[in-house]
Chain A
């Protein structure tokens, strides 16, 4: 099966104060996969996503989305940051946060209108948060906040979704709700890339995986490369996990 390449990364190197965080990463991500990025703390998982999205400036390397530089393809890409990256006491409502997903397509100055509101409400419905639309965001639980972030990305109606630890600190119900939405996205032909920590659930949730520890260790279909050998190479200790085929 010949798959189109959604994201192509060449020689990407990122450093904070001379210390390399990502070293010479080459990576091709085919269209339509649900991919986990796994690796130990400090392996550069979030950094990889942030460099692809232009939040961080790499020292070297290039990123292309469907054969064009990322800057020209922004509207194809949506991002779900780590939940802890913002101040949830900010004076705004759930609906308002989800509406922010429409700002990119609106561009400068133009205000969101009825059309944008409708899209935001639909996204809230999809993540099961419609009853909370007028809730002040600090009064949402951690799982609900994560769903709001997911809804904000869904509103962008992108082809490629980047998510930074969407399962961090959420309960089982939310985790299942989120993974179902991710699987739906894949079914619709979208590419979803997730920074993931729970190795146990990788085979169950994802069909593609990238092992990362400053350097790229391996990338490919979960059923081919998610094995003890690669886990040991990535985490540095003999990492025994049971792989459910």
Chain B
């Protein structure tokens, strides 16, 4: 579906393309777990948020978390997915020590949402689209750790420990169609999912805490072919950057195999971050028969049209719509993405821009000095003492020529530290810009008198010294002089009077 230019991938001279689909697992941000009342929090003391149900104790039963169902439906609606009238939970049966019941409650043939389309912007400015196959809801497993082996893997370990705090946490699985062609597109797709889910309050989407995990399916085929090549599934990426690197590495590996006339083996491959390569984990022949069947402990799920309409109404303005609007306001793509991907920043910018009526000047402050101050102090811009209205006031003062940009920058630092109003400071401290030509001429005359040699240099053709003279005038005026006017008056003084 995406007709993205391909970076010259070729096998023995024949142009090839990579075909990529992504499966994401995203932990939902609910107060409680999917099927019991235990708290859903990251980082608690191991096995402290557990109960008979999420431990799979004999006789305990699951009761679905209504909020989790609604969050998942919202996630689907945000991408235009269909919400089928009938959905149900199924059991996926397999044995594993961190799975308390030795089956996982999941959804097999009736996902909560079907279809949908994710539109994304790649950093190079191109746009792309990837169809969603489905989003379904399931429960997370516990977390195993293995002690006694050198690398923390199970091979060679003396014993294993299981933390069931994560067991039963609501997890949505979001499956894409194979519409992605490149690593940067994959990252753009994932970033779009992330910023949408964060905006909806569906998830905090923290890859480092495991609340987003993704697997990539990748195959190669001659450009123009509609048949799919043999695919591999890549796991264990722990950042968007490693997703991109893993895709590039796997494309190169498959292309090299094909170039040598070898076959691709359908298998699961693990990404090794340190080595920058993928390695074989297991081949498809060892695949489980999960013996899916409808979970008899849970009733079918039905969302009424009213419920869906209500949830649709709760979506608000989605990140993609905001990006679209920023771009149409003239905000460059990279800056638009920076605004949208910094929590609270887009809304802060929008408020300040509306109040000041000067989007471009506001944007420059928000992404420039304010973002720098936020980085230096660790305080997010929207939570700082510089309120959106204070910034708007500052922007208006600059725009009206009341203060110059140097003063504005200084004021911003003071507002960040102490709060308050830019206008009040300007008035009480006489910081208003001096734009009176007479007043400036006085200072210009003083500066020229004190810098005879420089004046001579200028007149001898070394016009570069003008900057030094401007700086001297500004310094003399304690930064308040209108810089354009200073330059103008200086030039005039140097060129017309001829004498100092």
- A and B bound? no
Residues of B within 8 A of A (CB): none
